[in-house]
């Protein structure tokens, strides 16, 4: 047990009053434009048997809605409910950036305001083999791959997204992955709890 000192995070059980306080704080933050949403969407749908960005994959069994549509409609519903303007930051990859941009344009941003949908490309870094040696994809040329979740802060910075957030007054970010259609985006109690605990 080399990691016997590691324990799970404490579970926070809220009373009804504390839950209502968290909901109110979250709703207030949404209403005042303090909340932004970040979607990590750099993957391709290859393992789904789909050639294209994973977010373009139609997952709705009846609606035929794509993952991007499902996520965008949830944000649109939040904007309408809380009379809010929620910036939507989408991290793509060099492999799927253009196709993702084209998909949002073709679908008129699924009802969202195009000036609040910002796409930016994740960084790339050299790939290593199991022994830690750099992989070449051709003689004298280093094979690079996306730097993924770990590179998001750098990608936000170099693509001007942090400056954009500052300009818009965003204080709290809700972060999620493209392949989770069940996620409750920027759920007010979750946002409010985060803010009231100054997390």
**Other Cβ atoms closer than 10 A to 56:** 24
pLDDT given at position 170: 97
**Other Cβ atoms closer than 10 A to 85:** 17
pLDDT given at position 115: 97
Parallel, antiparallel, or unpaired for β 88-92 and 117-121? parallel
Q: Which residues of the chain have pLDDT under 70?
A: 1, 43-50, 124-126, 143-149
Give 176's contacts (C-beta < 8 A, 6+ positions apart).
37, 38, 39, 40, 71, 183, 185
pLDDT tens for each residue of 21-67: 999 999 999 999 999 999 999 766 556 665 778 888 888 888 889 99
Q: How far is Cα 153 from Cα 175, in angstroms, rounded to an integer?
A: 12
pLDDT given at position 56: 86
pLDDT given at position 34: 97
Which tokens hold the place of 169?
């007054």
Contact 45, 96 (CB under 8 A): no
pLDDT given at position 128: 76
pLDDT given at position 119: 97
Q: Which residue has the tokens 């979607």?
A: 39
pLDDT given at position 50: 56
Residue 175 forms beta bridges with which residues? 38
Residue 10 carries which DSSP code?
Answer: P
150: exposed, middle or buried (Cβ count in 10 Å: 0-12, 13-18, 19+):
exposed
């Amino acid at each position: 047990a080399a990691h016997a000192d590691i324990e799970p995070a404490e579970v926070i059980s809220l009373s009804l009053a504390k839950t209502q306080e968290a909901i109110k704080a979250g709703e207030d933050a949404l209403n005042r434009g303090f909340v932004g949403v970040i979607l990590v969407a750099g993957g391709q749908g290859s393992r789904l048997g789909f050639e294209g960005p994973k977010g373009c994959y139609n997952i709705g069994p009846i609606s035929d809605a794509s993952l991007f549509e499902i996520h965008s409609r949830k944000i649109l519903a939040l904007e309408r409910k809380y009379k809010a303007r929620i910036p939507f930051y989408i991290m793509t990859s060099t492999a799927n950036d253009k196709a993702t941009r084209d998909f949002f344009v073709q679908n008129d941003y699924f009802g969202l305001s195009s000036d609040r949908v910002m796409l930016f490309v994740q960084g790339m870094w050299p790939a290593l083999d199991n022994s830690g040696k750099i992989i070449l994809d051709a003689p004298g040329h280093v094979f690079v791959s996306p730097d993924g979740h770990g590179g998001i802060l750098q990608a936000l910075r170099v693509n001007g997204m942090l400056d954009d957030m500052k300009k818009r007054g965003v204080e709290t970010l809700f972060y999620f992955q493209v392949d989770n259609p069940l996620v409750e985006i920027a759920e007010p109690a979750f946002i409010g709890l985060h803010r009231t605990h100054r997390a």
